[in-house]
Amino acid sequence: MTSTPKPSAKTPDTKIYERRESGVRSYSRSMPRQFNKAQGVWMHGNDGSRYLDFLSGCSSLNYGHNHPALKQALMDYIAADGVTHALDLYTDAKAEFLATLEDVILKPRGLDYRAMFTGPTGTNAVEAAIKLARKVTGRETVIAFTNGFHGMTLGALACTGNAGKRGGAGVPLSHVSHEPYDGYYGPDVDTADLLEQRLEDPSSGLDAPAAFLVETVQGEGGLNAASPEWLRKIAALAKKHGALMIVDDIQAGCGRTGGFFSFEDMGFKPDIVTLAKSLSGMGLPFALTLFRPELDVWSPGEHNGTFRGNNHAFVTATAALKEFWADPKFAEDVARRGRILEERLDKMAKRHGLSTRGRGMMRGINVETGEIADKITGTCFDEGLIIETSGAHGEIVKVLAPLVIDDETFNAGLDILEEAIAETIAPVDASDTTGAKADSKLGLAA
Ligand SMILES: *Cc1c(COP(=O)(O)O)cnc(C)c1O
């Protein structure tokens, strides 16, 4: 790691935002810097400050900022006047993306999916998925899970658990039953069995569902990771009850948990999969709903949208698939880095009597209250580390480091987190005085 100045504490002039940008803005409140450059794992403030990015656009930047291979592909495409916008017309960029998806992702995994290009954000992919499930099955109810997060438009929002987010709807959010996720009642209660019991009981009041909509690791809802056994049970339940299993892989997919899909090697194949966030590889808006060919009952234009298939994103997504996924080494390296993360978080948790959550490079530490978590992330930010929280009360400090980060920089960022926790929470062992010291080596300054 090269030497870097500690970020200056200078708060930018925020008057234009206060005057003209809606109060709905959020991340900028806890990270009051004005950024003007980003490369790899770093974001640069216009005041010369530099931040290590452990948020990665909520996992939209799994390959880091402006990856050279992706950037070059996009620059070449633009320089050659490649089509930018074409509704859903055939383009070279789309053909190449579909062929690469087929060759690099689907075929080697034995998956036969059709790709539906939806509007460009994740919630569009979820809307398409649940709409399709309802159309295919002729049923209304979607079973979603506690702490699930699926997006902000009304259909996806109805499937989202968080009351604060749901409250913005302004209308009743209906036709969804929220069932307990894996582990909701603790390790001794199998919530898939409970769900099965109710689905089999004609008097349970639970209508036959169109779909089960599930995240394998709950990105916004606290990094709860479902076990493969539980997910297999849900897949089997869906099959048995004539419903479709939708895996929302918008945050957990694209390598965040190791494989390209978060459910790889778990012994089931979802009927429908949603992807967005890191799909374009470069932070460009791009979402996709994948489903079994037999489910493709759409008539032309029945589910529409002006920006379906962003050609620039086709180009960078294709480049990302070729750059990272054509060789299994990438997934192995992510898995290895995930184990580093696991080890380090476990150590912090043990020292302070806390617990960890998550899987792969999608993990966090439960610091018990949102207030404590905010204090820790605030300290991290002051020391040059961008990191956010997750969970019902924002009580999980969540590490979403770029998957391509080198070990040294990764550990340096984790050192900051470790020290920020040590400054905030007392160790279990009172004689352990190595934390919270005045001459703390916090910060990325060399
Ligand atoms: C972020 C996210 C969404 C919504 O994606 P947007 O691009 O914000 O609309 C849906 N599902 C999951 C699991 C997500 O993490």
pLDDT in tens, 143-159: 999 999 999 999 999 99
Closest CA to 199 of 213, 189, 212: 212
| Residue to substitute in 247, 251, 398 for testing ligand 1 pocket (most ligand atoms within 8 angstroms of CB) | 251
Residue 196, pLDDT above cutoff 90: yes
125 Cα–ligand 1 center, Å = 9
90 Cα–ligand 1 center, Å = 27
Ligand 1 atom closest to the CA of 151, numbered from 1: 4
Mean pLDDT of the chain: 95
Residue 6, pLDDT above cutoff 60: no
Residue 385, pLDDT above cutoff 60: yes
Ligand 1 atom closest to the CA of 249, numbered from 1: 13
**Token match 């400090």: residue?**
397
| Residue to substitute in 145, 149, 289 for testing ligand 1 pocket (most ligand atoms within 8 angstroms of CB) | 149
188 Cα–ligand 1 center, Å = 30
Residue 431 binned pLDDT confidence (cut-offs 50, 70, 90): confident
- Is the fold of 1-12+41-59+329-446 the same as that of 68-325? no
Residue 313 binned pLDDT confidence (cut-offs 50, 70, 90): very high
pLDDT given at position 134: 98
Residue 434, pLDDT above cutoff 90: no
Percentage of residues of the chain with pLDDT beyond 90? 93
Residue 432 binned pLDDT confidence (cut-offs 50, 70, 90): confident
Tokens of 238: 């869906």
Ligand 1 atom closest to the CA of 248, numbered from 1: 13
Q: What beta strand segments (E) does 181-327 contain?
A: 211-214, 244-248, 272-275, 288-291
- Torsion angle of alpha carbons 12, 17, 22, 25, nearest 10°? -20
Ligand 1 atom closest to the CA of 148, numbered from 1: 13
276 Cα–ligand 1 center, Å = 7
Tokens of 342: 């696991």
Residue 390, pLDDT above cutoff 80: yes
173 Cα–ligand 1 center, Å = 18
Which residues approach ligand 1 with their CB closer than 6 A? 58, 121-123, 126, 149-151, 215, 219-220, 248, 250-251, 276-277
For the segment 343-360, the average pLDDT, to the nearest whole number, is: 98
H/E element, 399: strand 396-399
250 Cα–ligand 1 center, Å = 6
Pick the CATH number of 1-12+41-59+329-446 from 2.130.10.10, 3.40.1310.30, 3.90.1150.10, 3.30.70.270: 3.90.1150.10
Helix (H, G, I), strand (E, B) or coil at 413: helix
For the segment 262-278, the average pLDDT, to the nearest whole number, is: 98
| Residue to substitute in 56, 123, 147 for testing ligand 1 pocket (most ligand atoms within 8 angstroms of CB) | 123
Q: How far apart (Å, rounded) are the C-alpha atoms in residues 402 and 404?
A: 5
pLDDT given at position 4: 47
| CATH no. for 68-325 | 3.40.640.10
For the segment 243-269, the average pLDDT, to the nearest whole number, is: 97
For the segment 374-384, the average pLDDT, to the nearest whole number, is: 97
Q: Model-level pTM?
A: 0.95
Percentage of residues of the chain with pLDDT beyond 70? 95
Q: How far apart (Å, rounded) are the C-alpha atoms in residues 214 and 212?
A: 6
Residue 12 binned pLDDT confidence (cut-offs 50, 70, 90): confident
219 Cα–ligand 1 center, Å = 9
Tens digit of each residue's pLDDT (9 = 90 or more) over 153-191 = 999 999 999 999 999 999 999 999 999 999 999 999 999
pLDDT given at position 11: 78
pLDDT given at position 187: 95
283 Cα–ligand 1 center, Å = 13
Residue 252, pLDDT above cutoff 60: yes
For the segment 347-363, the average pLDDT, to the nearest whole number, is: 98
| Residue to substitute in 118, 150, 273, 388 for testing ligand 1 pocket (most ligand atoms within 8 angstroms of CB) | 150
Burial of 165 by CB count in 10 Å (0-12 exposed, 13-18 middle, 19+ buried)? middle
pLDDT given at position 9: 56
pLDDT given at position 444: 54
Which protein residue's CA is at the shortest distance from atom 11 of ligand 1?
150
For the segment 46-58, the average pLDDT, to the nearest whole number, is: 97
Which protein residue's CA is at the shortest distance from atom 15 of ligand 1?
251
pLDDT given at position 8: 58
Domain boundary assignment for the chain: 1-12+41-59+329-446, 68-325
Tens digit of each residue's pLDDT (9 = 90 or more) over 129-141 = 999 999 999 999 9
434 Cα–ligand 1 center, Å = 39
For the segment 255-282, the average pLDDT, to the nearest whole number, is: 98
Tens digit of each residue's pLDDT (9 = 90 or more) over 391-426 = 999 999 999 999 999 999 999 999 999 999 999 999
Residue 442, pLDDT above cutoff 70: no
| Residue to substitute in 55, 58, 124, 126 for testing ligand 1 pocket (most ligand atoms within 8 angstroms of CB) | 126
